[in-house]
Structure 1
Amino acid sequence: MHNLIVISGNSVKECVVCSAIARRRKYITEAKDETTREKLEELSKMPSGLHKYLKNKNRSFIYYC
């Protein structure tokens, strides 16, 4: 599961790069790039939040067993 979370985080970073390239090549407007980056920022928090949640859940489970 950890590997999938890492992969998803890296995929979001790749999308940020693709968005920047698209803006520089004028495939998208600067406003669209900003909107995309805001959404990607929100998405980037999800895998790390899930990882922290699962890590804490495992600790709690081990502690109580």
Structure 2
Amino acid sequence: MTDAIDEPQICNSKRCTEPAEFAVRWNNPKVHTPDRRKIWAACPGHVDHLQRFLELRGFWLDTVPLVDADD
């Protein structure tokens, strides 16, 4: 059995197949408890777009390198 962490993450932007390097962490306060962190994996080309999408809705918390996402 292979751990999911061992498999490369792919960017969550629509139709993107690039490897993800960033974790865009967010929370929808209407749906999630304050301590809940949702994560979108993002490649360098889409990290700004995904972050802005969440910022406009007031959901964005922070963006970190994908390897640091569990901190």
TM-score (norm 1): 0.28
Structure with the bigger percentage of strand: 2
TM-score (norm 2): 0.26
Q: Which has the higher contact order (CA 8 A, sep 6+)?
A: 1
The structure having more radius of gyration, on CA atoms, is: 1
